[in-house]
Amino acid sequence: MGNTLRRLNTNSIRDEYNGRRRPACLGQDPQTTPTSFGRKFIIASKSKSGEMKYPLPTTAEEKKLWLEDPHYLIRHLWQNNFSSPVEEILKRGGANVLDIGCGAGTWSLEMAKNYPESNFIGVDIAPIFPTNHHEKNLKFTLGNIIEGLPFEDNTFDLVFARLVGDSFSQKEWEETVLRELLRLTKSGSWLEIMQNDSELSRCGKNLEKMNQAFLAININNSICEKFEDWLLGDNQVSSINHEIAISPIGTWAGKTGEFGVSYIRHLSSKMKQQIMSHLNITEEEYDNMMEMAELEYNQFTTFRSSHRFIAQKK
């Protein structure tokens, strides 16, 4: 592949508990200080202009919606809906965009409304997307990427896959999923994969117990460490950029950190029985662990990382 690819550098800290490398939480605004070799850090909820286009929820109803649909928190953290350089072609019109694992279809609906001259398709294996929306440039369809999707080669200007890292095994990702996504992407166009880390960074002993439970429940707990190597190894991309949004958790980081606490509380409550089973603890012990864990957020300045891999097809 020669020198045509920009490979990512190592810019991380070694976690004191389990030896895995995790991104360092930066103290300066990374928008003005991107690191070399295609990686840059973004402080959550800070846009390039300094203005907040997508603020935090202000009502109980909005907060409930944010907790149930991860789209809104992700949009707030990144202050945009995508990182690929496709804004102009979407505005110009005629672009084709594929949303892989679209779920409830929130991202596709918003994108179709924002870019009415371009075309959007959301695909998912389960029919949980809306069937009565009003966006004429958007359609949803059922599909199983493992079996192959019913689209011609080189069809899409942007193939977008968000929060589907756990939907496939690592073998499926490497041998089937990435190849299918790249098959569908036009030459010179973009594949964007967005995934959150399974675990939290900078943790005390109670948070680390939660981390171990999260990792045990998650089938692909190190998936974010592998995408770049898989894409590089496939010899179909000419460049890869890796962006990392640092999402703080705790009142030490103001309102964004406060909502981060609510989100982790909501996430862990949905997996409460699995966490209790993995750690072999009672409900009372679980509640005590969670109470102590929330005190550790501020002591250790806990954060979570959200990753975007932006690859241009040759």
Burial class (CB in 10 A: 0-12, 13-18, 19+), 279: middle
The pLDDT, as a whole number, for residue 133 is 95
How far is residue 275's CA from residue 209's CA, in Å, rounded to a whole number? 9
Q: Is the pLDDT of residue 251 over 50?
A: yes
H/E segment holding residue 119? strand 119-124
Report if residue 139 sits inside a domain: yes
Could you tell me which residues come within 8 angstroms of residue 196 by beta carbon, excluding any fewer than 6 positions away? 163, 304, 305, 306, 307
- Reduced to 3 states (helix: H, G, I; strand: E, B; else coil), residue 231 is helix
Report if residue 228 sits inside a domain: yes
Could you tell me which residues come within 8 angstroms of residue 115 by beta carbon, excluding any fewer than 6 positions away? 90, 91, 93, 95, 137
Query: Stretch 44-56: mean pLDDT, rounded?
Result: 69
Average pLDDT, the chain: 85
pTM summary value: 0.85
Report if residue 3 sits inside a domain: no
H/E segment holding residue 152? none
Q: Which of 29-33, 208-212, 230-234, 296-300 has the lowest mean pLDDT?
A: 29-33
Report if residue 80 sits inside a domain: yes
Neighbours of 140 (CB within 10 A): 21
Between residues 51 and 111, the one the model is more confident about: 111
How far is residue 53's CA from residue 146's CA, in Å, rounded to a whole number? 37
Q: Which of 36-50, 179-193, 222-236, 268-282 has the lowest mean pLDDT?
A: 36-50
Neighbours of 296 (CB within 10 A): 21
The pLDDT, as a whole number, for residue 252 is 93
Cα angle, residue 65 at apex, residues 61 and 67 outer, rounded to 5°: 115
The pLDDT, as a whole number, for residue 24 is 38
Q: Is the pLDDT of residue 31 over 70?
A: no
Report the DSSP beta bridge partners of residue 313: 237
> How far is the CA of 82 from the CAs of 74, 137, 275, in angstroms?
10, 18, 32
Range of the domain at 58: 34-313
**Band of pLDDT at residue 29, cut at 50, 70 and 90:** very low
Q: How many structural domains are present in the chain?
A: 1
| End-to-end CA separation in angstroms for the chain | 11
Report if residue 13 sits inside a domain: no
How far is residue 300's CA from residue 250's CA, in Å, rounded to a whole number? 9
Rg of the chain taking only CA atoms, in angstroms: 20
How far is residue 161's CA from residue 101's CA, in Å, rounded to a whole number? 7
Query: Stretch 102-106: mean pLDDT, rounded?
Result: 97
Report if residue 11 sits inside a domain: no
How far is residue 124's CA from residue 110's CA, in Å, rounded to a whole number? 17
How far is residue 155's CA from residue 184's CA, in Å, rounded to a whole number? 5
Q: Is the pLDDT of residue 273 over 60?
A: yes
- Reduced to 3 states (helix: H, G, I; strand: E, B; else coil), residue 17 is coil
How far is residue 183's CA from residue 161's CA, in Å, rounded to a whole number? 14
**Band of pLDDT at residue 288, cut at 50, 70 and 90:** very high
Q: Is the pLDDT of residue 146 over 60?
A: yes
Kindly state the tokens that stand for 77. Answer: 């953290």
CATH code of the domain in which 299 resides: 3.40.50.150
Neighbour order of strands in the sheet with 156-162:
39-43, 237-248, 303-313, 185-196, 156-162, 96-100, 119-124, 138-142
Q: What is the pLDDT of residues 259-269, one digit of tens each?
A: 999 999 998 89
Report if residue 22 sits inside a domain: no
**Band of pLDDT at residue 3, cut at 50, 70 and 90:** very low
Q: Which amino acid is at 284?
A: E
Report if residue 7 sits inside a domain: no
